[in-house]
Chains A and B, each alone.
Chain A
């Protein structure tokens, strides 16, 4: 038998393995992000939001929903994908993947596909949760909403995958999400419009890639955005392409995978 062009059996095996891991730890995977997001809705949307002005015609409680979904999407995508590849490296079970007739892009498709699937599901669950707290939610462009959800989940799962390969200890695995991604998300307009910033800081904010994700995602809900839709999509795709390039390089050189 000659080897297949694409090892679909392997992609399926890894994907199902990763999904099964989620269902084994439902508390960590699903329940805890839902609870923490609910707390945000109660505190920011309910308690504080009732004293906040309407932003761009959108009540504050509704305004923050897309930002909060993005916050969970980014952190969960990174956490899922980085752990998925870091853990086999840590325990040594990665030997099997490295010795298997699996191309690097097949492994990436499977791991990133599974991580992205999980965070997309989670994003939808949070959206559902939000609609209980914030009845004003409306989705003007549902297809774009799903597109941004999928693109962001994929991009940041890839980013997480890179972190998982780069990390050589549990501390490093936490450092990037904690020290870089969470600040970028908070400063990226989850809780406010970039227009509310003073002029200088507005310019600084435009260097934050998360601004474009949140802006585009919020536009798909309410039709209002900090930056144009094309720019948002373009920036997301640029980051996606950059992550693919880095992952390709990692597997071609065996960086942190093979001695």
Chain B
């Protein structure tokens, strides 16, 4: 595949607020054209600051951002015309109707009126029936859909979703994921921040982890899970043990559930897992088990351990 220019390239981006708080410290990040990128990080890590700078809500202290090759400061018109933003807070014009607010957004981004397109956007988000309703009459989930419709009304090539499913019911979350996949199929690049690891695990092609204003990791999701994912083999014993027998010391076993379970942790990327040897040694030590199961660490476990290690 020929190397493609990244659709967003962030170079040495820093932001220090007037209070002296350093929200971003020399961030470098490239977003690939057409991917779904999940930005993970604890509260206050700098996720929203990063998005706000790229979208023009916050002035950077130093560094550069290019959106599809356009500098977001010197060539902001071209850069911003390509970007749609769905903010974290449900900030809407309470007294506007759904129809007028979405058409307003399209105009604001310099696009000619296109009722057919707006109709399609509203239908995709199941808002068509609510088009003449004032936004204040809508539920939280519906307001979230309105914000997405506003961001999509000018046909952006890049869509930022800042915590898109915070406080959203399961049904809407599923709808949103479907919508995001549909957008990706149409060539839209999507960058989402989320607290829900499940969401990143479900949606993202690549994952970036930000902590204390620094990007500490960017990785393909599958690669990340393979690399950092650990598997555990849990054996439920027939007879509880008081301690791990010395013969098994080299396996680094943990004794859990009041001596009723032996837990063996191993690397999925290792050539040999050592399970066969362990089972043989167990039977030689005359330890019998009645059940066993394996489990793989989730992205959440990975994330928690990554962020904890940095503290």
Contact = CB atoms under 8 A, between A and B. Distances in A.
Given A99-B57, A259-B18, A10 B109 contact: yes
Given A3-B110, A9-B110, A101-B110, A95 B78 contact: no
Interface stretch (B35-43, B99-107, B119-127, B249-257): B99-107
Contacts of A10: 107-110
B265 interface: no
A255 B191 CA distance: 28
B80 interface: yes
Nearest to A103: B77
Nearest to B15: A259
A92 B107 CA distance: 19
Interface stretch (A13-21, A39-47, A157-165, A226-234): A13-21
A254 interface: yes
Interface in B17-35: 17-18
Max chain B C-beta neighbours (<10 A), residue from A2, A12, A13, A254: A13
Contact of A101 (B80, B87, B104): B80
Contacts, number: 84
A97 B108 contact: yes
- The number of chain A residues touching the other chain, given as a range, is 20 to 34
Contacts of B188: none
Contact of A3 (B81, B92, B107): B81
Nearest to A4: B110
A108 to B, nearest CB: 15
B150 interface: yes
Nearest to A17: B104
B275 interface: no
A245 interface: no
A101 to B, nearest CB: 4
B107 A99 contact: no
B196 interface: no
Interface string B103-141: 111111111110000000000000000000000000000
A7 interface: yes
A258 B104 CA distance: 22
A171 interface: no
A9 B104 CA distance: 9
Interface in A1-52: 2-4, 7, 9-10, 12-14, 17, 20-21, 24
B91 A101 contact: no
A3 B108 CA distance: 13
Contacts of B107: 9-10, 12-13
Contact of B56 (A3, A14, A98): A98
Given A92-B91, A259-B58, A13 B18 contact: no
Interface residues of B, number: 36
Contacts of A259: 17-18, 58-59
A100 B108 contact: yes
Interface string A63-102: 0000000000000000000000000000111011111111
Given A12-B107, A259-B17, A3 B93 contact: no
A88 to B, nearest CB: 8
A99 B56 contact: yes
A14 B108 CA distance: 7
Max chain A C-beta neighbours (<10 A), residue from B56, B100, B103: B56
B177 interface: no
Interface in A85-143: 91-93, 95-103
B152 interface: no
A9 B77 CA distance: 13
Max chain A C-beta neighbours (<10 A), residue from B57, B58, B76, B112: B57
Interface in A177-194: none
Contacts of A101: 76-81, 109-110
Contacts of B13: none
Interface of B: 17-18, 55-59, 76-81, 83, 85, 87, 89, 91-96, 100, 103-113, 150
Interface of A: 2-4, 7, 9-10, 12-14, 17, 20-21, 24, 91-93, 95-103, 254, 258-259
Given A17-B96, A21-B95, 9 more contacts: A2-B78, A4-B110, A13-B106, A24-B95, A93-B92, A98-B55, A98-B56, A101-B109, A259-B17
5 contacts: A13-B107, A100-B80, A101-B81, A102-B108, A259-B17
